[in-house]
Amino acid sequence: MVENIKGPFGTEPILDFLTVREKEIIFLILEGLDNSAISKQIYVSKNTLKTHIRHIYHKAEVKNRVGLLLKLGELLPYKRAN
């Protein structure tokens, strides 16, 4: 699924443009972790994590986490509670 998302200019899959660390961060974002939890888990400062996330957004051509999740197809259709 994630492997098929196109990167900058739609030429190659997005994962081809990401570093190993950026891929790790994407999967932690997909698990629902916030920046504080991610920075603790991968042993980097919050500022370093924000830099990685900014690079991910640029490569994925999105502006924020919601845009990234939408691009990755991880948002499920809204289901109303019964």
- C-alpha of 61 from chain center: 11
Which pLDDT does position 35 carry in this prediction? 97
Tokens of 44: 């980097």
Domain locations in the chain? 2-72
pLDDT for the residue numbered 75 = 47
How many Å apart are CA 12 and CA 23, to the nearest integer? 15
Torsion of CA 46, 52, 54, 55, to 10 degrees: 170
What predicted TM-score, i.e. pTM, was given to this entire model?
Answer: 0.74
Given a contact cutoff of 8 angstroms between Cβ atoms, the answer to whether 60 and 68 are in contact is: yes
For range 28-35, the mean pLDDT? 94
CATH class of 2-72: mainly alpha
Q: For residues 55 and 20, what is the distance between their CA atoms, to the nearest angstrom?
A: 13
pLDDT in tens, 69-81: 888 874 445 544 5
Average pLDDT over the chain, rounded to whole? 82
pLDDT digits (tens, 9 = 90+) for 43-71: 999 999 999 999 999 998 999 999 998 88
